[in-house]
Structure 1
Amino acid sequence: MRRLLGCVALGVLVAGLVACGPPRKSVFPPTVSVQEMSMRPDGQWRLTVRIQNNSYGEMDFKSIDGELKVADLVPVRLHGRFNLEIPAFAADVTQIDLLPTPEMSAALKATAGKGSAGSVPYSVAGNAAAKPEQEDKTRDFSFHGTDWFSPVPGIPNTWR
């Protein structure tokens, strides 16, 4: 009986010590999408990229490295470095410039005359480097998303 009481006391002590530690916040990959895209006079595209933190704690986002694919055309590299501290379940944006292929630009220009009725599918995929608030090191989180580019009425050379 004394041995059983000793084991129970030890179990209660261990459980009490485990409960004293700080709770770990769950970390999940972000959602990355293009909020807006505009064609610049020099042929480059300026993307406003939206990063949604899907974790229960703040994350410090440092960069994204991936690809942007418009329609079924050859993808181009999507890369940007920044410093965004995004709270739990919140989002922020950053701007990234890239040089599209001529076929990608032609596909979007073909929809420009159709107004909001015209659209072109796109996808983004890659990795986002971020440091969760309870961790010491930055790590990579993969992302993949699809959506549509549609011309913005009244704002030339701009798609959302």
Structure 2
Amino acid sequence: MGRLLRWMALAALMAALLAGLVACGPPRKSVFPPSVSIQEVSLRPNGQWQLTLRIQNNSYGGMDFRSIDGELKVADLVPVRLHTRFDLDIPAFAADVTQINLLPTPEMTAALKATASKGSAGSLAYSVSGNTSAQPEQEKAARDFTFHDNDWLSPVPGIPNTWR
């Protein structure tokens, strides 16, 4: 009889432990802010710039990116607004691109064109900053992530009106 009670107590303890482990669910994946940078700028005949924005998911799980709202600043000139909506499902530690057309200030266009005469030795500082809306795979709603990037644009040899 004592042996039976010990086995029943052990079985009850194991059932409680198993129920506790099942309640825990899958482990949560760490979520980190993404990186947003300019991959390419193309000057269009109508004066617009076509930006190819690179979005790097720095999280341990996939994220569904939906929009960007921020600003682009070239050199020390007045910034212009970056805003676009899209739907990109980016896996963990991967990147994807989206394109956005914007109308720059005349000073921005002049500064960009001035680098073209210098060839690949020419460069122009830029910064992008703002928020991107994304939904991590284990969350029920999207949230905003802040981004900020500083880098340089240089003319692409052999491809007119294009900078990277």
1:114 offset after TM fit, Å? 0.5
- Superimposed CA distance per residue, residues 67-88 of structure 1 (whole angstroms, 9 cap, x where no aligned partner): 0000000000011110000000
Equivalents in 1 of 2:18, 2:153: separation in Å?
A: 54
Aligned counterpart, 2:121: 117
- Give secondary structure in 2 for the equivalent of 1:17: helix
- Counterpart amino acid of residue 125 in structure 1: S
Aligned counterpart, 2:61: 57
1:14 offset after TM fit, Å? 7.2
Q: 1:71 to 1:15 in 2, by over 3 A?
A: farther
Equivalents in 1 of 2:142, 2:110: separation in Å?
A: 38
Aligned counterpart, 1:77: 81
- Give secondary structure in 1 for the equivalent of 2:144: strand
- Give secondary structure in 1 for the equivalent of 2:114: helix
Q: TM-score, normalised by structure 2?
A: 0.87
Mind listing any 5+ residue stretches in structure 2 that lack a counterpart?
A: 1-12
Aligned to 2:20, which of 1, 7, 17?
17
- Counterpart amino acid of residue 82 in structure 1: F
Equivalents in 2 of 1:18, 1:100: separation in Å?
A: 56
1:22 offset after TM fit, Å? 1.2
Mind listing any 5+ residue stretches in structure 1 that lack a counterpart?
A: 1-9
Equivalents in 2 of 1:93, 1:55: separation in Å?
A: 17
Q: TM-score, normalised by structure 1?
A: 0.89
- Counterpart amino acid of residue 20 in structure 2: L
Runs of 4+ in 1 over 3 A off after TM superposition: 13-16
- Superimposed CA distance per residue, residues 17-69 of structure 1 (whole angstroms, 9 cap, x where no aligned partner): 25742100000000000000000000000000000000000000000000000
- Give secondary structure in 2 for the equivalent of 1:136: coil
Aligned counterpart, 2:94: 90
Percentage of matched positions with identical amino acids? 77
Equivalents in 1 of 2:61, 2:125: separation in Å?
A: 32
- Counterpart amino acid of residue 136 in structure 1: K
- Bigger radius of gyration, 1 or 2? 2
Question: In the comparison of the two structures, how many residue pairs are matched?
Answer: 152
Matched, 1:31 2:35: yes
